[in-house]
Amino acid sequence: MQLPKTISPRPSGGYALIVTMCFLAVALIAYASMMNWVSTNAHITKRNNLFTQSQAAAESATESVLAYMVRDYFNQGLNPVSVYTDSTNLPSQSNWPVGFQFSDTNGNPNTTSVSIGLSAWTTLPAQYAGLNGIGQPVEIASQATPINSGENISATIYQNVWFGIIPIFQFAIFYNMDLEINPGAAMTINGRVHSNGNIYATGSGSGLIFSTNVEAAATNVYTTPSPLDPQNVGRSGNVTFTDTDNNPLSHALSLALPIGTNNSSVAVIGILGIPPAGTVANSTNGQQYPYNEADIIITNDYYGTNLLVYYQNLNNANPQTLVPMDITNITITGYSSTNPVTHVYYTYYATNTYYSFTTNVTFYDYRESQQMKAVQIDVGKFRTWLTNSIGGLTYQNNNLTGSYAKGHGIDGVYVYNSISNSSSQTPAVRVINGSRLPPPGFTVATPFPLYVEGSFNTTTDGVNFSTTLGDVTNTYAAALMGDAVTILSAGWSDAYNSSTSLTSRGTSTTTINAACLEGIVPSNGTSYSGGVENFLRLLENWSGVTIYYNGSIVVLFQSQYNVHPWQAPGGSVYNAPVRQWGFDTNFQNPSLLPPMTPSLRAWYRSQWASW
């Protein structure tokens, strides 16, 4: 008989092993994938980190070059490209976790790409909207490649930087220190305002209006008085900024004069002095000193006598020429008789020679409580002297024609008063008879207090006059620069003394059409600076009388000679006028800027790129 077949059951252990092996394979694949992802991600992260480090290294190379360029620009001007591409300008890599090879954009090692464009008069970048200046574009680029990192991850940084020279009188108001303005009557500022410090501005009942950009390089633009101002405590607001697009601007870039890295008040006052030894008079920086730019230099001796006038032309090998005195005056001093019988008499004469347009004068300053010993310039006589063959005509022609020509007529006068500054006298300069200036313009500069008697720069022909706010059609470009600028009316008398009452010092309407650069006595917690509204000093009873001022207000330093603080009207110094003040918009035209206009230095990072 046939027996039935039996099927033995498959061992379960083999199946379990297979399943386990499958799971293990899957796990290994997953683990391998994960480890590959981790490795790839770590590699990508490393490359990203390395690229970031390369970026930082390349940027440090461009910033290192830029720092040298900014330093040079503010001290003297940009050097040739080769100075900045040199390997010595590369950053030190001491203690860097990764070393880098620096190269320019063409792959040349140990150098930086630098390109300096041509200087040209141009409209300035948006940062300085509304201003014009001499702009110069600069391109800086560097490539950094890590060394011995196992990865060739290089980065390149490119920067486009604008360097510019900005004539200072393009600002309606420019302060190198804290700017305070607290007018007692309505006032509108119709031009750009800049302070290298803070701005403290409050309006009166009628308000203070800024019609264009306002910026402070320090902490803020405040609509409250300065904490050091004891005069305007409690006032605030009523200030209108017509332009509200990022205006007013705090923490703006500081603007400096190219006299070195220190632009403090103590340092900047040196711009009106005789330049320091070693200054190259014809250099860009040397020409920031009015002394070097002046065509005529007037000085005297220690006793305030013996006036001397020099013609200056830096294009000549002998830049200064003593100008002969143009007036000879012979006077009879007496008679004598040597023979009583014949009565023959001998007449004795004295011969005096002097300059027709300058002399020494003395007058009293009520704010300073001091006698001012001044060198005086009669502008009308100076204008005549320039046309006289025995006067200044020769020098005028030297300026205009010939191999040493400057390209302009005589338009700048620098005055150095050599008398001592003491408790009984202060050296000063005074300008009189200045309603009509010599063409094409006229600037007077001095390191001492400057006084202007009567209207200044109101006519070019003696027939048509510009004597109101905003009317500057009959004027020449002009500036007044000194330790302080004080306005005296046409009715001023040098016979006034310390006992002459304020009510006896009457005035008449006066117009000043000129940029003014000066110092002030800052607020100090005890006294108020007087603010922008009092930057022109006064010594007479101006109550109800108008002063028209068209110009540019520039305050750079703390006054060194006229140092007494501002005193409120109604005392013994002055009574306040009706002020009609505005910015002379002619100064926005480079051809209409005053002679010897100082320029500010600025730089602006206009583009940054990385690849």
How confident is the model over 182-233, as pLDDT tens digits?
A: 998 999 999 999 999 999 999 977 899 999 999 999 889 999 999 999 999 9
pLDDT of residue 346: 62
Mean pLDDT of 323-343: 72
pLDDT above 80 for 513: yes
Express each pLDDT in 87-106 by its tens digit.
Answer: 998 998 888 888 899 999 99
pLDDT of residue 24: 74
59, containing H or E segment: helix 12-75
pLDDT of residue 1: 43
pLDDT of residue 298: 97
Q: Which residue has the tokens 């006289």?
A: 388
Residues 6+ apart with CB under 8 A from 403: 315
Residue 21 vs residues 18, 25, 33: alpha-carbon distances, Å: 5, 6, 18
CB burial of 171-196 (b: ≥16 within 10 Å; e: otherwise) equals bbbbbbbbbbbbbbeebebbbbbbbb
% the chain with pLDDT above 90? 65
Express each pLDDT in 295-306 by its tens digit.
Answer: 999 999 888 788
Chain mean position to CA 247: 21
pLDDT of residue 74: 80
Question: Left (φ > 0), alpha (ψ -120 to 50) or beta: where does 550 sit?
Answer: beta
Q: Smallest Cα–Cα separation from 574: which of 424, 365, 374, 372?
A: 365
Mean pLDDT is highest, among 64-73, 326-335, 419-428, 456-465, for 456-465
Q: Smallest Cα–Cα separation from 569: which of 600, 601, 539?
A: 539
CB burial of 39-55 (b: ≥16 within 10 Å; e: otherwise) equals eeeeeeeeeeebbebbb
Of the given ranges (95-99, 247-251, 265-269, 559-563), which has the lowest mean pLDDT? 265-269
| Distance (Å, whole) CA 197 – CA 44 | 48
Express each pLDDT in 578-591 by its tens digit.
Answer: 999 999 999 998 89
Token representation of residue 152: 């060739």
Confidence of residue 11 (pLDDT cuts 50, 70, 90): low
| Distance (Å, whole) CA 569 – CA 318 | 50
Q: In what order do the strands lie in the sheet with 199-201?
A: 179-181, 199-201, 221-222
| Distance (Å, whole) CA 270 – CA 267 | 6
% the chain with pLDDT above 70? 90
pTM for the full predicted model: 0.85
pLDDT above 80 for 598: yes
| Distance (Å, whole) CA 250 – CA 125 | 18
Of the given ranges (154-158, 246-250, 339-343, 456-460), which has the lowest mean pLDDT? 339-343
pLDDT above 80 for 263: no
Mean pLDDT of 560-564: 96
pLDDT of residue 32: 64
Express each pLDDT in 386-406 by its tens digit.
Answer: 999 999 999 999 999 988 899
Helices (H), 300-378: none
Mean pLDDT of the chain: 89
Mean pLDDT of 405-421: 95
DSSP bridge pairs for 221: 199
pLDDT above 50 for 149: yes
Confidence of residue 520 (pLDDT cuts 50, 70, 90): very high
pLDDT of residue 223: 94
The residue ranking higher by pLDDT, 32 or 605, is 605
Token representation of residue 145: 């490649």
pLDDT of residue 244: 86
Confidence of residue 72 (pLDDT cuts 50, 70, 90): confident
Of the given ranges (84-88, 260-264, 481-485), which has the lowest mean pLDDT? 260-264
